[in-house]
Amino acid sequence: MESISLLLSEALSPYQVTLTSSGVRGECLVTVKSPAGAIVVEREVNRAQLIDKREWVDVVDCLHRDLKIAEGRLEPSVIAALRNAAQTRASVLA
């Protein structure tokens, strides 16, 4: 788990990332702190998501998104609009 923590820290640099076990079904608590040490984002993820490469990439993408929202660089309504547009395009193409 230490190597996964290091990979997450590298992917989310300059933020500090810690992983702690939580829950009885293999969940992990991912805590992302600012360089000053303030908690910016905390998310619980399934340990399997951190082992599978595709799911790991999704976790990192979601954490990047959450960091942008926490920093005020991305509004949640923009995310909803983008999802809606993607679903609309997918249904038109189907």
The secondary structure element, H or E, covering residue 70 is helix 53-70
Separation of alpha carbons 24 and 91, rounded Å:
39
- pLDDT for the residue 42: 93
Q: Which amino acid is present at 87? A: Q
Q: What is the pLDDT along the chain (94 residues), one digit of tens a residue?
A: 667 778 888 888 899 999 888 877 878 999 999 999 999 999 999 888 888 888 888 888 889 888 888 888 777 777 777 778 878 877 766 5
- pLDDT for the residue 40: 93
- pLDDT for the residue 93: 65
Domains of the chain: which residue ranges?
A: 2-93
Packing angle of the helix pair 53-70, 76-93 (nearest 10 deg): 140
Nearest Cα residue to 9 out of 74, 63, 73: 63
- pLDDT for the residue 6: 81
Cis link prior to 14 (omega < 30° from 0)?
yes
- pLDDT for the residue 14: 92
